[in-house]
Homo-oligomer: A and B are copies of this chain.
Amino acid sequence: ADIVVLEGDGIGPEVTAAAVQVLQALAARYGHQFELQRHLIGGAAIDASGEPLPAATLQACQRSDAVLLGAVGGPKWSDPKAKVRPEQGLLALRKGLGLYANLRPVQPHAATLGASPIKPHLLAGVDMIVVRELTGGIYFGDKQRSASAASDLCEYSVAEIERVVRRACQLARGRRGHVVSVDKANVLETSRLWREVATRVAREEFPDVTLEHQLVDSMAMHLIAKPRAFDVIVTENMFGDILTDEASMLAGSLGLLPSASLGEGKVGLYEPIHGSAPDIAGRGIANPCGTILSAALLLRHSLGLDAEAACLEQAVAAVLDAGVLTADLAPAGEAATTAQFTAAVLAQLD
């Protein structure tokens, strides 16, 4: 299998290095051959070539079986007046690969509940997956700027809504059969279309799946007030961005959560939901868990290696259970480094 590795910026190189070590160990253990190719994206690509997504990077990704990404961005490239920004590289990659469905599973782990701001009794048994639309909405609509004003256009087509709702309903079939669709249909026209299309797709194609609707403001509340109530959540791009960062607090740290971005083709993009964390970059203390678990999703969704994915997820769970926690989760002085956490996962895989 051909895997493109995009380290990106900040802690990106550190967390992808950890996940690559783990992938190589699994390849050895199960007798697979993974060809890894590194390419540039984000700030690192801007520095090298002036472009946040060089053509060579996009082409390599298009030809690959799967892409593993760290994170992009940082203060060095954050001048609001800058013409190119690292984030454009990530958005262009998602769009260029047609990855319209971003899966973000949230399953709090007993060992990390202490780090969550949420009361533990609310978290037992929480197991949800957010399906975020990833190539439409206000992220990709026309943007205008004049001296006195600015605008962003949020657009959705019926086809864009259908395909992501369908993906969410399919996922629900393999789970508890329950989908909550999140919108702001009492104010937005795109949300009213979203609600109509979601209702029709669920009724016509998934009579076995229960679909409910929630307004995004209520959802921001219910997500933490009664997290056990959710199975699959499907929503548009920007709402998904906000709600999944919020949902990471159920798990205890943004550093724990993986994601898989999928389209119609086989190539998927796998990245932790955290950012480039420039404040801790280069110090060897980043939590590689979200990226390692993203590698597990890569094994499952792009390579069809379900047993290997499950083995890796169990290894990570065992390491957390054993109390090996990075600085985002552990009390000061008791934290494992990125290398120590990774070594513990590798030891489990032996």
Contact = CB atoms under 8 A, between A and B. Distances in A.
A154 B154 contact: yes
A184 interface: yes
Given A80-B195, A80-B196, A242-B242, A151 B190 contact: yes
A225 B329 CA distance: 12
A188 interface: yes
Interface stretch (A54-62, A142-150, A172-180, A301-309): A142-150
B154 A149 contact: no
A246 B225 CA distance: 9
A349 to B, nearest CB: 31
A192 interface: yes
A156 B138 CA distance: 14
Contacts of A154: 138, 151-154
A73 B148 CA distance: 35
Given A149-B157, A151-B153, A154-B152, A220 B192 contact: no
Contacts of A185: 78, 80
Interface stretch (A117-125, A285-293, A318-326, A337-345): A117-125
Interface string A266-295: 000000000100000000000000000000
A117 B155 contact: no
Contacts of A156: 149-151
A193 B144 CA distance: 11
Nearest to A241: B217
Given A119-B117, A218-B245, A245-B220, A151 B158 contact: no
A148 B157 contact: yes
A128 to B, nearest CB: 15
A21 to B, nearest CB: 28
A96 interface: no
Q: How many identical subunits does the complex contain? A: 2
A189 B146 CA distance: 10
B148 A155 contact: no
A185 to B, nearest CB: 6
A261 to B, nearest CB: 16
A85 interface: yes
User: Of A73, A118, A218, which is in contact with the most chain B CB atoms at under 10 Å from its CB?
Assistant: A118
A249 B225 CA distance: 7
User: Of A73, A138, A144, which is in contact with the most chain B CB atoms at under 10 Å from its CB?
Assistant: A138
Interface of A: 73, 78, 80, 85, 87, 91, 117-119, 122, 138-139, 141, 143-145, 147-159, 184-190, 192-193, 195-196, 216-218, 220-221, 224-225, 238-239, 241-246, 248-249, 254, 275
Enumerate the 10 nearest inter-chain pairs by beta-carbon distance, A residue then B residue, closest first: A150-B193, A220-B246, A217-B245, A143-B189, A149-B157, A151-B155, A150-B189, A87-B186, A80-B192, A150-B190
